Amino acid sequence: MSGGLLVSYIALWVLVVALAIAVLALYNHFGRLYLNTPQGRDEQGPPPLEPLRKRTLGDLQEGAVSLPIKGTPSLLFFSDVDCPLCDSLKPGLARFATERDDVALTVICGGNREAVARWSTELGADVCVVPDPGNRIAAGFNIAMTPFLVSTDAEGVVRHKGLINEVEGFAAAAAAAARTNVLEVITR
């Protein structure tokens, strides 16, 4: 292969690689745009009124947490160490965990184990905290933004899911999780 041909051959391959990267970046870009639209935000999280997919996660104490938690209404709070809005909800979350021992509370927090441990110190021992490096667990639940809350009833069925901006959202989600569908009870 002559010198000129070799140079153009290499240049074309470089261009192909650059274009492939640009196409993937564009794909990511439009995906992110969609995720942040009202429709995209609304569609995040596990499907409502369906059993939460079974998962076994490791908490900060290196114990196993099996989801969904059955036998009691439960809340899954998705957070991140880099989420300022989540930080503002921490005091309310700690208070809710103390006052509502009838609701199982699990926090899934994006970040490495050490950062999550520092972030969760003020939550207290009533709250189970699961570190989520790289937000992989959240992505597995179809969640790409925080703070996000999922509530399940005593049978592990998703009763509420969505972004949460105020402390009152915890009580509302817990009420949804405790609500029993009368028709479901009759037809069982």
Partner 1 sequence: MSEVLARGAMAINRRRFLGRALAGTFAVLAGAAAGRTEPAWAISCTAPNGACPSAGCNGYRCRDSSGLTCNYRTGACAENRACWCGGGHCCCDCRCCVLSGSCTSCYCHGAQ
Residues forming the site for partner 1 (CB under 8 A): 18, 21-22, 24-44, 80, 82-86, 134-136, 139, 142, 144-147, 161-165
Q: Given the complex with partner 1, which of 32 and 95 has the nearer CB atom?
A: 32
Taking the complex as a whole, the smallest distance from the CB of residue 43 to partner 1 amounts, in Å, to 7
Please state the closest distance from residue 83 (CB atom) to partner 1, in A: 4
- Residue whose CB is less far from partner 1, 98 or 179: 179
Q: Are strands 104-110 and 74-80 parallel, antiparallel or unpaired?
A: parallel
In the DSSP assignment, the letter for residue 11 is H
**45: how many CB neighbours lie within 10 A of its CB?**
22
**Residue 73 and residue 67 in contact, taking contact as beta carbons nearer than 8 Å:** no
- CB nearer to partner 1: pick between 7 and 33: 33
Rounded distance between C-alpha atoms, residue 117 and residue 111, angstroms: 9
Nearest approach in angstroms of CB 20 to partner 1 is 10
Structure tokens at 34: 């969609």
Give the span between the Cα atoms of 87 and 90, in whole angstroms.
Answer: 5
Q: How far is the CB of 188 from partner 1 (least distance, A)?
A: 29
Query: Cα separation of 26 and 149, whole Å?
Result: 29
Packing angle, helices 84-99 and 168-178, rounded to 10:
50
Closer residue to partner 1 (CB): 101 or 166: 166
The least CB distance from residue 132 to partner 1, in Å, is 11
Cα 49 to the center of its chain, rounded Å: 18
Q: Which is nearer to partner 1, 58 or 133 (CB)?
A: 133
